[in-house]
Amino acid sequence: MNKKISNPDRVLVVTIIMILLFGTVMVYSASSIWASYKFDDPFYFAKRQVLFAGVGVIAMFFIAKVPYYQWLRYRAWIFLGCLLLLVAVLIPGIGMVRGGARSWIGVSAFSIQPAEFMKLGMIIFLSGYLVNHQEKITSFKKGFLPPLSLIVTMFLLIMLQPDLGTGMVFLLTCFLLLFVAGAKIAHFLFLAGIGVIGFLFLIISAPYRINRITAFLDPWEDPLGNGFQIIQSLYAIGPGGLFGVGFGNSLQKYFYLPEPHNDFIFAIIAEELGFIGGLAVISLFVTFIWRGVLTAIYAPDLYARLLAIGIVGMIATQVIINISVVIGLIPVTGITLPFLSYGGSSLTLTLCSVGILINISQYRKF
């Protein structure tokens, strides 16, 4: 196999650590009031975030030592394990219901979200499949349809929870891999038409999704209901101005913005640190994406290239969706902000994913 020709991309590693450290500090700031009220401990969520981040960083550096091509050998077993978890979460008594979705397996705070595992598992498996069937990918029936069928099946399993946000990140990441592997544009145009029909069906099948879209178009029509989160998020961003109201001085975290340390943590960042703080966060993510794309471009083989672009695409898609929701550009989806939002399985799996990316960066060919 390919011999290492360089050290890991230091810019990539430093950027990841910087985002992670900043996120841990902001989780404390955003959650301290809620944690004091609910658990009588302002550091309740911050301490757990440090634990999750610590485990994730250890896993990241451990995985960074594993040659990326080893994942190709065990891709089928990894995918099968993720599939079993994804099915198990749908079984009453095993899957835990939170926020109206059966998306978790575990006990209390010590739980995992199988859909997060499936995102990474599918990237590993699909990359290997596309390498072995690259010559057929331009054929819709022989090369494009088989992986598409598998992708749609996994998406439907995620939607049974239901988890539209994670499902959309999953779909977009997989489609990116198909595109990079050489699938025809015409195939994606056909999928776009089917996707519009499917999206309309998903909206009609669940009335709460219609309400979310209505709230997105005019949140003030239902300010105490479906439009509440968007309005409170905008109320946080607006007063932040250029330099913010100061670290720890957010007003929206005083029970206005629900659980501000999760999906809407970027709103608290913008409120406390202003436009400059928000721009700094976005700049760090742009740097991460830039170095990740370079890693993919200069990867030594197609499998490494697909693996790298899949991981970068997954994280980039999630960042774009989350920030777009927070600033009111798209409807609320329930997507966390990678490295920054409070979370266990999401944060840990994201760090495991970038561990693979760091390993690939050691084999880059300049």
Residue-wise pLDDT tens digits, 168-177: 899 999 999 9
286: Cβ–Cβ under 8 A, 6 or more apart, which residues? none
Q: At 83, is the secondary structure helix, strand, or coil?
A: helix
Number of domains, the chain: 1
d(CA 227, CA 216): 7
Q: What would the two tokens of residue 29 be?
A: 């700031």
Question: Which pLDDT belongs to residue 340?
Answer: 92
Confidence of residue 262 (pLDDT cuts 50, 70, 90): confident
**For residue 3, pLDDT beyond 60:** no
Question: Which pLDDT belongs to residue 94?
Answer: 78
Q: What would the two tokens of residue 8 be?
A: 């890991």
Residue 366 is assigned to a structural domain of this protein: no
Average pLDDT over residues 210-222: 68
Residue 1 is assigned to a structural domain of this protein: no
Q: Which residue has the tokens 């485990």?
A: 55
Average pLDDT over residues 306-319: 95
Average pLDDT over residues 224-244: 83
243: Cβ–Cβ under 8 A, 6 or more apart, which residues? 273, 274, 275, 276
- Smallest CA-to-CA distance from 335 within 142, 101, 59 is with 101
**For residue 71, pLDDT beyond 80:** yes
Residue 274 is assigned to a structural domain of this protein: yes
Residue 5 is assigned to a structural domain of this protein: no
Whether 293 contacts 73, CB under 8 Å = no
Q: Report the amino acid identity of residue 103.
A: S
**Structural domain boundaries enclosing 89:** 10-361
Residue 66 is assigned to a structural domain of this protein: yes
Question: Which pLDDT belongs to residue 7?
Answer: 84
Residue 159 is assigned to a structural domain of this protein: yes
What is the rounded average pLDDT for all residues in the chain?
A: 86
**Element containing residue 96 per DSSP (H, E):** strand 95-98
Question: Which pLDDT belongs to residue 193?
Answer: 83
pTM above threshold 0.85: yes
d(CA 138, CA 195): 20
Average pLDDT over residues 13-39: 92
Confidence of residue 313 (pLDDT cuts 50, 70, 90): very high
| Start-to-end C-alpha separation, the chain | 18
Residue 153 is assigned to a structural domain of this protein: yes
Confidence of residue 138 (pLDDT cuts 50, 70, 90): confident
Whether 116 contacts 167, CB under 8 Å = no
Position with higher pLDDT, 341 vs 163: 341
Alpha-carbon 107 to chain mean position: 23
